Amino acid sequence: MAGHVRLSRWAVALLLVAVVPAGVAGRAAAAPERPAAGLVRAAPLTAADAGQAQSLAASSGQPVEILPYRTDFSKTYAEPQGGFEDAESLAPY
């Protein structure tokens, strides 16, 4: 009987480790961010190619998504300081 209790505790622990973080992340993602009073949130910056993205990122000081590099599971951004950053997801964007 003690082995059965130990197995049940392991099963519950595994379930909590697998399910609770997903639930917490889902709630956090569902809460919309609000801009500070008087500020309007700008749309994310995008560009048609890497050269345009680099120029726009440098002039705006914000990352710029390179649209042709977008897939269902990744996005590529030109960074204001130069270089690129890939954002990948296990779920489609």
Read off the pLDDT of residues 2-42 as tens digits, 9 standing for 90 and up. Answer: 544 444 555 555 545 555 454 544 454 555 566 566 666 67
Q: Quick check: 42 and 65 in contact, CB under 8 A?
A: no
pLDDT at position 4 is 47
CA 49/CA 65 separation, integer angstroms: 9
Structural element, H or E, at residue 87: strand 84-88
pLDDT at position 12 is 53
Q: What is the pLDDT of residues 40-59, one digit of tens each?
A: 667 889 999 999 999 999 99
pLDDT at position 6 is 47
